[in-house]
Structure 1
Amino acid sequence: MEKFVKINFLGASGVVTGSKFLIETSEKNILIDCGMFQGLKELRELNWNDLPVDVNAIDVVLLTHGHLDHVGYLPRLIKQGFKGKIIGTAPTLAIAEIILKDSAKIHEEEANKANKENYSKHNPALPFYTVLDAEKTIKLFEVELEDKWIQLSEHISFRFQYNGHIIGATFIELDINRKRFVFSGDIGRTNDYLLNDPKKPEWADFLFIESTYGNKLHPKEDLETMLSTIIKDTIYKKGNLIIPSFAVERLQTLMYILWKLYKKNKIPNIPIFIDSPMGNNVLEVFKRFPKWHKLPTKDYKAMCKHINIIQSYKETWETIDDKRSKIIIAGSGMVTGGRVLTYLQQLIDEPSTTVLLVGYQAEGTRGRQLQDGTHEIRFFGKYYPVNATIKNIESLSAHADQQDLINWMKNIKNIPEQVYLIHGEPTALDAFRVKIKSIYHWNVKIPKLTDVEKVMI
């Protein structure tokens, strides 16, 4: 085997989204994650470019978890000639299937709408990929167990390790010629409502660690009291509480917390509507994989019974026309698409409306605009005044904060040859670099998009 490995930083380098890291060796070429860029327009436009590598030469894709910014580019990879296996844990591939099909459907619908209403500069507007493309991708999925070493070739093996964050999520340990490359994926939090605590790596020669909250500590908020207050205020205003939510994990966590609040008599029996076809499918994944989370079956059933799950677009409009105060949880979490756009288009100009943001809002998304206090917002080519109250609860984030990230590394027994900070915005990356240097005195790099590194093994 050659004595070096080539690392291609194809995404989530200097930015949060678009996770893609190609590891080239003389035996196998391995792509870790294959995500879409989200947020700023110049990032989203990168999605339309072919990868600057020989896609035909990639042997396998290993997935840390099923979020769109880690799996959403897979159908484009296949269009560019990839024919290998796409490997993940069973829940990760179940989530990836749901997300890819849903994403493809949205791409098709948006292209059709843009062509019909003539608001795209492209003629015709094309979907990023189709449902058929997604189905072709899913045929390449192959399940592997968590916590089991899998041999890829004579000198290369890998292992998935439980990582919290969302159901099925893992970090990846990749051993190449006795050197260990550790890819953190997205690291979850301790004491999560639904998930067990993340495991921690014990050895890393080369560490690739996410830095989403590398410059922040999550506030010590009394989440249940804050939610109760917001809900009671919504009822007092005779308005609607709209919660844009990520369909995977956040939506299920919110359902569970709201059900618990009702059971404890902390909130009245306000109608709760879940409008996320993808979120409903993710609920089924929780049902299928009980060992991957800590929600008891009886609580799962009671929670689902308590909440109204919207099945059709007709019901979306019936919910908007319903004059009662209510809670509406709808995708997407960064307000970039999905059913939440319809609710906000109709209700964001009303002072009685409250919009509650409950997760990370990437630069360039509508969610970030709302978080930053914008006075107007654009949906489907038109601007709408923001008269609604905008609230933000950071403590519901599924990402580890700076302290969690530092703790996640503390069991590493050796001194890594190199630590690469990925999956973060520039200020978070730099603050986290300084923190790691001061605590561990390790070599830390912040790679940029399309950087290539050669490391000796």
Structure 2
Amino acid sequence: MPMIKVHFLGAAGTVTGSKFYLETPEKNLMVDCGMFQGLKELRLKNWEPLPINPTRLDAVLLTHGHLDHTGYLPKLVKEGFRGTVHGTAPTLDITEIVLLDSAKIHEEEAQLANTEGYSKHDPALPLYTLKEAEFTLNLFKPQKRDVWHTLSENIKYRFRYNGHIIGATFIEINIYGKRFVFSGDIGRQEDLLLEPPERPKWADYLFMESTYGDKHHPEEDVETILIKLISKTIQQRGHLIILSFAVERLQSLMYLLWHLYKKNRIPNIPIYVDSPMGNNVLSVFERHQHWHRLPMNEYRAMCRHINIVQSYRETWQTIDDPRPKIIIAGSGMVTGGRVLTYLQQLIDRPSTTILLVGYMAEGTRGRKLLEGSNEIKIYGKLYPVKASIYHLESLSAHADQQELLHWLGKLRNIPESVFLVHGEPSDLNTFRAKLNNTFGWHVRVPQLNEALTLVV
């Protein structure tokens, strides 16, 4: 009987670095190829060679375009991968934006480390260069969703709509008659810009994300919270800095603020969006209108109302402008990008308000701000935190525990094995117990770099 070997090369026992390698008698596949973020011990793993031979890898299938699912691709190519990278068209568009932005940040941080001398490496080098990221784009192969695509005689796959961000999918792979389902990141039932996720009907082997496996998103009146923070900002003549993921959340926040203004619930306070990557993502919404529900007339009116920062010079003009203002800066988990310039200049001011949106992984600056840190380190220097810190969890793009269970509700069979991934230990263990109690399934929490052989 055919045997499939599954390697858990990332997002095992942690949230980031999603990489799942499948060895089969016909083809070798990888589902997602993400970069580790957060704790230093995890980030260092990005520099380590993978415990597989990338030259034997035939194809990478991407669930969606976030950095922790795609950011390792240029490194994989550096290690010898020359196969194809498959994803939906908007996923590959987002991945292109993310990889080029990531490469630019890696190059800039290496250059700054060498100039300032705060790295122990001499010279400090980028994980990969812009040229290497650009070469990786040549391997991209966009595919339609809801269509079975053949990789070999006994292996085929399809992408299914999953909410979360534009282009995101879960992936069903049929291997010798057994169905492997990789959930990717599952979106919300109610989302400003996206439809609810579709749901699988059959899974022999299920690889399930658990980001919010032990949590329920709070019932928050997001509009009222934003109105209060904006009023506070105007009264203090300060800055409201909203730190958001550049893909989906940033566009949702733009839409929210535009509607509040249109309904006369907030004054005409200047709003700036400073995220080169986020700006590029806006064009993906325009190109792939059937993947979201933002009307194009609303999209264009929103973009006219909001100031889109185009250059680093404009970033400094925005900081120096004394008027109260709202700044939406793409930052991931406050790990890099333009937002760091704003924090360097403004986080030590009591008149500054910082709003964190979405999930913040352990070890990131975002998590430290959430936990009340009195100072944060940026480019080797410590900055005191005197700004007010707030968190909006209900705008998360990830399904919570109840929504994860709902996503499983259409399965017609009992999976042979369920593997919980993409979660911190408490989330994974709580969700494992929940699945055991709810369905009585055999559930495992694999360890990083664990390899299992499945007989199909």
**Residue of structure 1 equivalent to 2:292:** 293
In the aligned structure 1, how far is the partner of 2:402 from the partner of 2:2?
36
**Residue of structure 2 equivalent to 1:382:** 381
Cα deviations by residue, 1:140-187 (Å, 9 ceiling, x for unpaired):
000100000011111110000000000000000000011000000000
Given the alignment of the two structures, is residue 128 of structure 1 paired with residue 119 of structure 2, yes or no? no
TM-superposed deviation, 1:117: 1.0
In the aligned structure 2, how far is the partner of 1:162 from the partner of 1:48?
33
**Residue of structure 2 equivalent to 1:152:** 151
TM-superposed deviation, 1:380: 1.7
1:333–1:359: 8 Å Cα contact kept in structure 2? no
1:216–1:402: 8 Å Cα contact kept in structure 2? yes
In the aligned structure 1, how far is the partner of 2:285 from the partner of 2:87?
17
Cα deviations by residue, 1:314-355 (Å, 9 ceiling, x for unpaired):
110010000000000112131111001100111111111000
% identity of equivalent residues:
64
2:2–2:25: 8 Å Cα contact kept in structure 1? no
In the aligned structure 2, how far is the partner of 1:380 from the partner of 1:447?
34
Q: Secondary structure at the match of 1:125?
A: coil
Cα deviations by residue, 1:108-134 (Å, 9 ceiling, x for unpaired):
111111111111110000011001000
- The number of aligned residues is 456
**Residue of structure 2 equivalent to 1:119:** 118
In the aligned structure 1, how far is the partner of 2:376 from the partner of 2:108?
21
TM-superposed deviation, 1:369: 0.4
Q: Give runs of aligned pairs for residues 267-282 of structure 1, distance below 5 A.
A: 267-282=266-281
**Residue of structure 2 equivalent to 1:181:** 180
2:35–2:69: 8 Å Cα contact kept in structure 1? yes
Given the alignment of the two structures, is residue 207 of structure 1 paired with residue 176 of structure 2, yes or no? no
**Residue of structure 1 equivalent to 2:241:** 242
Bigger mean CA offset, 373-382 vs 346-355: 373-382
Structure 2, gaps ≥5 residues long: none
Q: Secondary structure at the match of 1:83?
A: coil
Q: Give runs of aligned pairs for residues 440-451 of structure 1, distance below 5 A.
A: 440-451=439-450
TM-superposed deviation, 1:238: 1.1
In the aligned structure 1, how far is the partner of 2:10 from the partner of 2:382?
32
Q: Which amino acid aligns with 1:148?
A: V
In the aligned structure 2, how far is the partner of 1:141 from the partner of 1:151?
16
1:167–1:195: 8 Å Cα contact kept in structure 2? yes
**Residue of structure 1 equivalent to 2:161:** 162
Given the alignment of the two structures, is residue 402 of structure 1 paired with residue 401 of structure 2, yes or no? yes
In the aligned structure 1, how far is the partner of 2:142 from the partner of 2:163?
18
**Residue of structure 2 equivalent to 1:10:** 9
Cα deviations by residue, 1:394-424 (Å, 9 ceiling, x for unpaired):
0010000000000000100000000000000
**Residue of structure 1 equivalent to 2:414:** 415
Q: Secondary structure at the match of 1:220?
A: coil
Q: Secondary structure at the match of 2:284?
A: helix
Given the alignment of the two structures, is residue 307 of structure 1 paired with residue 327 of structure 2, yes or no? no
Q: Which amino acid aligns with 1:172?
A: I
Given the alignment of the two structures, is residue 330 of structure 1 paired with residue 329 of structure 2, yes or no? yes
In the aligned structure 1, how far is the partner of 2:380 from the partner of 2:149?
49
**Residue of structure 1 equivalent to 2:338:** 339
Given the alignment of the two structures, is residue 90 of structure 1 paired with residue 89 of structure 2, yes or no? yes
**Residue of structure 1 equivalent to 2:433:** 434
Q: TM-score, normalised by structure 2?
A: 0.99
Q: Which amino acid aligns with 1:78?
A: V
Q: Which amino acid aligns with 1:156?
A: I
In the aligned structure 2, how far is the partner of 1:432 from the partner of 1:263?
41
TM-superposed deviation, 1:3: 2.0
**Residue of structure 1 equivalent to 2:31:** 32
Structure 1, gaps ≥5 residues long: none
In the aligned structure 2, how far is the partner of 1:228 from the partner of 1:117?
41
Q: Secondary structure at the match of 1:136?
A: helix
TM-superposed deviation, 1:456: 1.3
